[in-house]
Amino acid sequence: MTDRLPITVRLDERDVALPAGATLAQLLELERREAAAVATALNGRFVPRDARGSTALSDGDVVLFFQPIVGG
Amino acid sequence: MPHPSDPLLIDGVALDSRFFLGTAGYPSPAILCDAIRASRSQVLTVGLKRTLQAGDNGALAQAIAAGRGQGARLLPNTAGCRSAREAVQLAHMARELYGTAWIKLEVIGDEHTLQPDPFELVAAASELVREGFVVFPYCTEDLILGRRLLDAGCPLLMPWGAPIGSGQGLLNLHGLRTLRERLPDTVLVIDAGLGAPSQAARAMELGFDAVLLNSAVAQAGDPVAMAGAFGDAVRAGRQAFRAGLMAPQAFAVASTPVSGHAFLLGDA
């Protein structure tokens, strides 16, 4: 039954509640992020675009989204 | 004018421009685009940011479009990284977002000077090269560090002229000259610390292969005009290096070919 409990992940310094078993791809959809517009990291490690759908999130995970910007 | 007969070769790519330009901190996206065009640069540095931070007002998209018109390639950076692990992760994100294996590797070791951390830099470069990246390491002028980075597989080095954004020019001429002399076949790009076109020309006259800068253009009173001035200076410096500078001497040597005295004053 434990896997049916909702989970909370930390996304860019705020908490987001998700159903248990949610994937990184589903989090992007929930946040209305275009898949190709951001890069993703889970607990400090890069997760490639094609691996997001198979990357299940766990309670307490820390997710970061990155996007392109000007730079020196 | 570009010098098609004198391209800069990096990773099999021939670049007609030896002026790499950063895209951050311009007064407006329009000025950034005009500065890119005025610079004629073919390498533009770009970055990554967390999505919770403010956007860039469309500057990046416009810059990429402006650069594309002159055949510019993007060079994403790992700005803000303090460890090899962080830099490696960010490099992977940059490769995915920008679609290029080129990465300007920055691993900062000191908050005040923004000096690169040589140990983390070599560790990150080694891993990234193994993973197929073309690593442009932002480093100091230290010769041994340079050798370690080349041993790791970096195709070039990007030693600082002075701390990032300081505009102080070439602070350690001895160290930079030594690097140039000891690594004669390595592509060396002066990255960071240049504040004036004359400093860029000086770097090129010393035999460096290119310069990379951002603040000196972005923070100029007229960034577009300054981008053009830097472009001219880089071309002039390169041309002077290829022409061969005369050897300095510690004494005067008359240039007019007279012999003896020009006039006889007589014995009276």
Cα angle B57, B62, B65; round to 5: 160
The C-alpha of A2 sits at a distance from chain B's nearest C-alpha, in angstroms, of: 32
Q: Is the pLDDT of residue A63 over 90?
A: yes
CA distance B76 to B103: 5
CA distance B80 to B107: 7
Tell me the per-residue pLDDT of B36-49, one tens digit each, with 9 for 90 and over.
999 999 999 999 99
CA distance B147 to B153: 10
Nearest-CB residue to B48 (from A13, A48, A69): A69
Structure-token pair, residue A24: 């990184």
What pLDDT does residue B58 have?
83
Q: Is the pLDDT of residue B259 over 80?
A: no
Q: Can you tell me the mean pLDDT for B157-176?
A: 96
Q: Is the pLDDT of residue B53 over 80?
A: no
User: Is the Cβ pair A70, B24 closer than 8 Å?
Assistant: yes
User: Is the Cβ pair B51, A71 closer than 8 Å?
Assistant: no
Residues 6+ away with beta carbon under 8 Å from B88: B124, B127, B128, B131
Interchain contact A69–B (C-beta under 8 A): yes
Domains of chain B, start order: 8-243 (3.20.20.70)
Instruction: Tell me whether strands B8-10 and A14-18 are parallel, antiparallel or unpaired.
Output: unpaired
Q: Is the pLDDT of residue A16 over 60?
A: yes
Domain A2-66, what architecture? Answer: Roll (3.10)
Measured between beta carbons, the chain B residues lying within 8 angstroms of A68 are 46-48, 60, 76, 97-98
Q: What is the share, in percent, of chain B residues with pLDDT greater than 90?
A: 88
Per the model's pLDDT, the better-predicted residue between A10 and B57 turns out to be A10
Interchain contact A1–B (C-beta under 8 A): no
Interchain contact A46–B (C-beta under 8 A): yes
User: Is the Cβ pair A70, B85 closer than 8 Å?
Assistant: no
Interface pTM, i.e. ipTM? 0.92
pTM, two decimals, is 0.92
Chain B: residue whose CA lies nearest to A33: B51
Residues 6+ away with beta carbon under 8 Å from B73: B13, B42, B43, B44, B67, B100, B102
Q: Can you tell me the mean pLDDT for B53-70?
A: 86
Q: Can you tell me the mean pLDDT for A3-14?
A: 86
Nearest-CB residue to B24 (from A13, A49, A71): A71
The C-alpha of B27 sits at a distance from chain A's nearest C-alpha, in angstroms, of: 13
User: Is the Cβ pair A46, B45 closer than 8 Å?
Assistant: no
Q: Can you tell me the mean pLDDT for B64-82?
A: 95
Cα dist from B105 to B116, B191, B196, B225, B227, whole Å: 10, 12, 24, 29, 24
Tell me the per-residue pLDDT of A20-58, one tens digit each, with 9 for 90 and over.
999 999 999 999 999 999 999 999 999 999 999 999 999
Chain A: residue whose CA lies nearest to B218: A72
Instruction: Tell me whether strands A14-18 and A7-11 are parallel, antiparallel or unpaired.
Output: antiparallel
What pLDDT does residue B54 have?
72
Known active-site residue B104: yes
Tell me the per-residue pLDDT of B198-239, one tens digit each, with 9 for 90 and over.
999 999 999 999 999 999 999 999 999 999 999 999 999 999
User: Is the Cβ pair A68, B97 closer than 8 Å?
Assistant: yes
What pLDDT does residue A1 have?
42
Tell me the per-residue pLDDT of B98-149, one tens digit each, with 9 for 90 and over.
999 999 999 999 999 999 999 999 999 999 999 999 999 999 999 999 999 9
Determine whether B151 is exposed, middle or buried from the number of CB atoms within 10 Å of its CB (0-12, 13-18, 19+): exposed
The C-alpha of A62 sits at a distance from chain B's nearest C-alpha, in angstroms, of: 13
The overall average pLDDT reported for chain B is 94
Q: Is the pLDDT of residue B261 over 70?
A: no
